[in-house]
A and B are shown apart, each in its own frame.
Chain A
Amino acid sequence: MFRFRLDGSSGVPPYLQLVHQVRQSLLLGYLQEGDRLPTVKDVASDLAINPNTVVKAYRQLEHEGLAGGRPGQGTFITATASEVLPEAQQALRASLEEWLRTAEQAGLSDEAVTALIAAARHDMRQEKERV
């Protein structure tokens, strides 16, 4: 059975962490179409997390078409990995990964990478404003 985890220091709201984990596990193949997700009670008890938060995460997954509830049986994965990331995004992800590897080889820390992206974004916005 799939198990969630929670990172208290990430700053990402708990319900989004659950959603991200399902999406990521689908991409990595840890979760597949037809797999059953743990019950709300199991997740609440496992992580000491508010059950309403788990319900919210499952609802979001249903909304995104990644999971669906079967009455009396639980919540099941209804998507395949390729549905999670459309092809265009997969290509972007591949080039991003390559860029990140280059940055790592150049000795950039995670923080430096984040700062660099923020600075580049900022410059692009400024350019747009000038036009």
Chain B
Amino acid sequence: MAQDDAGGDAPALRADRLAKRYGKVWALRDCTLEVPAGAIVGLVGPNGAGKTTLLEMVIGLLKPTEGQVSVFGVTSHAHVAARLARVGYLAQDHPLYRDFSVADMFRLGRSMNPSWDQGVAEARIDALGIPLKRKVKALSGGQQAQVSLTMALAKRAPLLVLDEPVSSLDPVARLEFMRDLMASVVGTGLTVIIASHVVSELERLCDWLVVLNGGRVQLAGPTDDLLTAHRLLIVPRATPDAELPGFPVHRTDSDRHSTVLVRIDLARQAGQQRPGWQADPAGFEQLVMAYLQRRPQTAAAEDTAPTATEVTR
């Protein structure tokens, strides 16, 4: 069945002031993002940060309270079927029917997805050495994850959304899953969103980063750009924030010196090289952790304030 690839130049994902409220609690607020096609996005945040809420709105399982989200130009107001066809989704617990065989699962996937590619599904499972006749309950955790991924890929959707895909797997199975995923992406132009709270595993996987905390986007953009826009400074403890060459994201004070992760402000660059200062490039994990640790102060202040219009890009 022909799949329309309309929206050629449209971003893979666009969220515009997207928000979701459950009762009185905002699970996600003021989320504005634009992810280009072909990116592999790491969505990072602690449990309860709003990752799953955001993803469920992206795939069309959840209706936004405010704002809107579009996938390759198809907005959240469109018919659910039109949206679901564009997204392959792998939920946290790899939901499969335990008493079904792999072949049964594929039959189910085929009946539910008009764009299903049986050839892709069978070739992958064959390459992984998983027998088609084997029952799901007889598969290892890693194999179940592989079958789920295969089903998401066989749908031939241009966007693949993975919610904590490896959190239930042991380290070897995790690595194997990620190796297989990265090899599957090569040459496909597929856009992938991987939600995870394991920061260290994401660096090698994603070229785009979204840090979510307290229901708000703290940081978003191409990973390399974000890294070059930040520095890790070691300065004398008495140095006031105003003298730093940018915005202090996170500061740790010790007796005589302070370690500050700053977002470089070009206008303030002039006074950057002070004697006694040391400036190092920011590492991926340091960057993510700095933005995650910043949360308690800002989130508390923002919860009482009306929705801020500030946009983090």
Contacts and interface: CB of A to CB of B under 8 A. Distances in A.
Interface of A: 6, 8, 11, 13-15, 40-41, 44-53, 118, 122, 125-126, 129
B228 to A, nearest CB: 10
A46 B179 contact: yes
Interface in B38-88: 38-40
Contact of A11 (B40, B182, B207, B281): B281
A6 to B, nearest CB: 6
B186 A53 contact: no
B12 to A, nearest CB: 14
A15 B175 CA distance: 19
Nearest to A52: B207
Contact of B204 (A11, A14, A118, A125): A14
A129 B275 CA distance: 10
A52 B204 CA distance: 10
Contacts of B275: 122, 125-126, 129
Nearest 4 pairs of A and B residues by beta carbon = A45-B183, A11-B283, A48-B178, A44-B182
Interface of B: 38-40, 175, 178-183, 185-187, 200, 203-207, 224, 227, 273, 275-276, 278, 281, 283-284, 286
Q: Which of B207, B278, B284 has most A Cβ within 10 Å?
A: B207
A125 to B, nearest CB: 7
Given A8-B204, A50-B204, A118 B186 contact: no
A125 B278 CA distance: 12
Contacts of B40: 50, 52
Would you call the interface of chain B mostly helix, strand, loop, or mixed?
A: mixed
17 contacts: A8-B200, A8-B203, A11-B281, A11-B286, A13-B227, A14-B204, A44-B179, A44-B183, A45-B180, A48-B175, A48-B181, A48-B205, A50-B205, A51-B186, A52-B40, A122-B275, A122-B278
Given A6-B204, A8-B200, A50 B182 contact: yes
A48 B180 CA distance: 7
B182 A45 contact: yes
A48 B187 contact: no
B185 A122 contact: no
Contacts of B181: 48
Contact of B224 (A13, A41, A122, A129): A13
A44 B39 CA distance: 15
Contacts of A48: 175, 178-179, 181-182, 204-205
Nearest to A8: B200
B11 to A, nearest CB: 16
Q: Which of A6, A46, A51, A126 has most B Cβ within 10 Å?
A: A51
Contacts of B182: 44-45, 48-51
A67 to B, nearest CB: 19
A41 B204 contact: no
Contacts of A14: 203-204
A49 B183 CA distance: 9
A47 B281 CA distance: 24
Given A13-B224, A50-B204, 9 more contacts: A11-B281, A11-B284, A13-B227, A13-B284, A40-B186, A44-B186, A45-B179, A45-B182, A48-B204
Contacts of B175: 48
Given A45-B183, A48-B175, A52-B38, A125 B224 contact: no
A121 to B, nearest CB: 9
